[in-house]
Chains A and B, each alone.
Chain A
Amino acid sequence: MDYTEKVMDHFMNPRNVGKIENADAIAEVGNASCGDVIKMYLKIQGETIEDIKFQTFGCGAAIAVSSQTTEMVKGKTLREALDLTRDQVAEELGGLPPIKMHCSNLAADALHQAVKTYMKDHGIAER
């Protein structure tokens, strides 16, 4: 299975790339030896994700999934972000080659890790 047009669009023109200085939450998942590292930076206002940016070392799918994930949660609440699954991201991209599903797993993982850490540190209940 090839990459969909939407995957290619996010890969060629990734949204929300880079770092956020003084981010409220940061998480990094993956490692270079497995070929994918995704780092998420979040700016949080109250319980809302005001801004989100990412840095990714990885294949086309890993970059597209990172970009898509940031688009899907920007402006959403922390709990909504926790509800986002890797399958939803893949679906929004029009599907991913089966072997690439591990890449999309990472972007949601990075997001969830950042959000959970923030909620714990700020005494916000996950549910």
Chain B
Amino acid sequence: MERIYLDYNATTPVRAEVRDAVLPFLNDLFGNPSSRHLEGRQVKTKIEAARAQVATAIGAEPERIVFNAGATEGNVTILRGYQVNYKEKKGRDHIIISAVEHPCIYDTAKKMAGEGYAVTFVPVDGEGNIDLDGLKKAITERTGLISVMAVNNETGVIYPVKEIAKIAREKGILFHTDAAQAIGKMPFDVKDIDADFVTMSAHKFYAPKGIGALYIKKGKRLDPLLTGGHQEANRRAGTENVVGMIAMGRALELATGELATDRERIGKIRDEFERRILAEVPHSRRNGGADNRLYTTSNISFRFVEGEAVQLKLDHFGIAVSTGSACSSGTLDPSHVVMAMCNGDEETAHSSIRFSFGKYSKMEEIGYVVDRVKEVVAQLRSFSPLYDKFLSSQGK
């Protein structure tokens, strides 16, 4: 059976052009970019070209780009680097993040809170939008860093990072945005936003896993997480992931050229899918506002059924999705993102399914997916004690 992959926010397949671009580096072009001989110099030239490709795509100068292993490394580097460097900015031991950041920020910030930092988690409303007044009010003289993601990974909600960067700038506070879900999928210009630090992840835009990059604004110091090598201009030690860098550069160059057509085509599929699901599956609710959202993502809670059960059944029918339910996460806590949006209603979080669309999604697949979702949800409800209780309360 042909699989239907609807989990593009988790990761994407490597596209053929990207695979072709890296093949020479798995063959003859094996040199260490740090070596002064021809083998090394050849590769060094190519990774610098890849750096330029990444920089161009986000409106930065190539020397502002530091390659790393992905968004988790980037985000932890920002928080931990800030922790090391804040001594220069005496007393700035307060950081502000949104309540819906990716766990690599959210959990790291929580750890920092246990290490003597003051951390404010700014809430979001029922549509997932950040409370900007709350953010402003949270700022104190000790605030040194604000970190708010560009696009939420679970809901696709887009955050006003340019506005937040401006608020930070006016108060002399550093601004970082985790743009893992934004870059390669929507226009993104670091100069326009005026961010100090930006996190990127390549496997979200059809390059392999294990490669990403940080944008560090000129003049902003950030101690590296990995030390003991001169690579990346002393900003990230370790022999370069050459294949990853080449792939990331090529993939981002391609993605940037296709932003408008992707938005149009994939957006239509997502919208049609969501319209049908909400119309045809009773007691389903969208998590995240309808409008201020990236065109790739549809996060739906199906009341009275648990997300992992829905996910497993859909997988059986050849459909790959993800869930905010605790039971699939390796922890026992449901999605803090969906929880933040529904006033801590854990049942809604346990019942949430994320459908995320991408380059290989097809409009023709939607009918099959909608039918299977209807079937699976109805079947699980048929023996759900919560649904039974609901029916009784309705006098049925």
Q: Which positions in A face B, CB cutoff 8 Å?
A: 3, 8, 11-12, 14, 17-19, 28, 32-39, 54-63, 99-100, 102-103
User: Can you name the residue of chain A whose Cβ is closest to the Cβ of B386?
Assistant: A57
Q: Which of B326, B331, B382, B384 has the most CB of A within 10 A?
A: B384
Quick check: B388 and A61 within 8 Å, CB to CB? Answer: no
Contact between A58 and B327, CB atoms less than 8 A apart: yes
Q: Are B306 and A59 in contact (CB under 8 A)?
A: yes
Question: Is the beta-carbon distance between A56 and B325 smaller than 8 angstroms?
Answer: no
Cα separation A38 to B384 with both chains bound (whole Å): 9
**With A and B bound together, what is the CA distance between A3 and B328 in angstroms?**
12
Q: Which listed residue (A12, A58, A99) contacts B313, Cβ 8 A? A: A12
Contact present for B332 and A102 (CB under 8 Å):
yes
CB < 8 Å neighbour of B383 from A18, A59, A61, A99: A18
Chain B contacts with A in 372-386, Cβ cutoff 8 A: 382-386
Nearest 9 Cβ contacts at the A-B interface? A59-B327, A33-B346, A59-B308, A55-B385, A32-B347, A17-B383, A39-B385, A35-B350, A60-B312
Name 13 A/B residue pairs within 8 A (Cβ), A-sorted.
A28-B385, A32-B346, A34-B326, A34-B332, A35-B325, A35-B332, A37-B385, A38-B385, A39-B385, A55-B384, A57-B306, A57-B386, A60-B308
Within 8 A of A (CB), among B55-76: none
Query: In whole angstroms, how far apart are the Cα atoms of A99 and B332 in the complex?
Result: 8
Interface size of B in residues (CB-CB distance below 8 Å): 26
Residue of A3, A8, A18, A57 with most chain B CB atoms under a 10 A cut-off: A57
Contacts of B332 in A (CB 8 A): 34-35, 99, 102
Among B316, B383, B386, point to the contact of A14 (Cβ < 8 A).
Answer: B383
Q: How far is the CA of A33 from the CA of B386 in the complex (A)?
A: 12
Pick from A32, A58, A99: contact of B309, CB below 8 A. Answer: A58
Q: Which residues of B contact A56 (CB under 8 A)?
A: 383-385
Which residue from chain B places its CB closest to the CB of A39 in the assembled complex? Answer: B385
CB distance from A99 to the nearest CB of B (A): 6
Is residue B114 within 8 Å, beta carbon to beta carbon, of the partner chain?
A: no
B 301-313 to A, binary, CB cutoff 8 A, 1 in contact else 0? 0001110110011
Q: Which residues of B contact A18 (CB under 8 A)?
A: 382-383
Residues of A within 8 A of B346 (CB): 32-35
Per-residue CB proximity of B281-325 to A under 8 Å, as 1/0? 000000000000000000000001110110011001000000001
Interface centre among A11, A28, A58, A100 (most CB of B within 10 A): A58
Cβ contact within 8 Å between A59 and B334: no
Closest Cβ neighbor of A61 among chain B residues: B327
CB distance from B61 to the nearest CB of A (A): 46
Chain B residue numbers with a CB within 8 Å of A3 are 312
Known: A55-B384, A55-B385, A100-B327. 7 other contacts (CB 8 A): A19-B388, A35-B306, A56-B385, A59-B325, A59-B328, A61-B327, A63-B309
Chain B residues with CB under 8 A of A33 = 346-347, 350
Asked if B330 lies at the interface with its beta carbon under 8 angstroms from chain A, I say yes
Query: Is B347's CB under 8 angstroms from A54's CB?
Result: no
Residue of A28, A32, A102, A103 most packed against chain B (CB within 10 A) = A32
In the complex, which residues of chain B have a beta carbon less than 8 angstroms from the beta carbon of A38?
385
- B326: A residues at CB distance < 8 A: 34-35
With A34-B332, A99-B332, A102-B332 known as contacts, the answer to whether A60 contacts B309 (CB < 8 A) is yes
B305-A57 in contact (CB<8A): yes
Out of A28, A54, A58, which one reaches B306, CB within 8 Å? A58
Closest residue on chain B to residue A40 by CB atoms:
B385
Distance in angstroms between the alpha carbons of A37 and B305 in the assembled complex: 10
0/1 string, B248-267, CB within 8 A of A gives 1: 00000000000000000000
Q: Which of B313, B334, B350, B383 contacts A54 (CB 8 A)?
A: B383
Residues of B within 8 A of A39 (CB): 385
Residues of A close to B384: CB separation below 8 A: 55-57
* Complex contacts, B386 vs chain A, CB 8 Å: 32, 37, 57
Residues of chain A within 8 A of B308, CB atoms compared: 59-60
Bound: A60/B385 CA distance, A: 15
B66 CB, min distance to chain A CBs, angstroms? 36
A36 CA / B332 CA spacing, docked (Å): 11
Among residues of B, the one whose C-beta sits closest to the C-beta of A7 is B312
Contact present for B382 and A17 (CB under 8 Å)? yes
Q: How far is the CA of A6 from the CA of B305 in the complex (A)?
A: 22
Q: How far is the CB of B18 from chain A (nearest CB, A)?
A: 30
B338 to chain A, nearest CB (A): 13
Tell me the chain B residues, 328-348 only, with Cβ under 8 Å from chain A. 328, 330-332, 334, 346-347
Are A11 and B385 in contact, CB atoms less than 8 angstroms apart? Answer: no
Chain B CB count within 10 A is highest, among A38, A54, A55, A102, for A55
Instruction: Indicate if the CB atoms of B327 and A55 lie closer than 8 Å.
Output: no
In the complex, how many angstroms separate the beta carbon of A103 from the nearest chain B beta carbon?
8
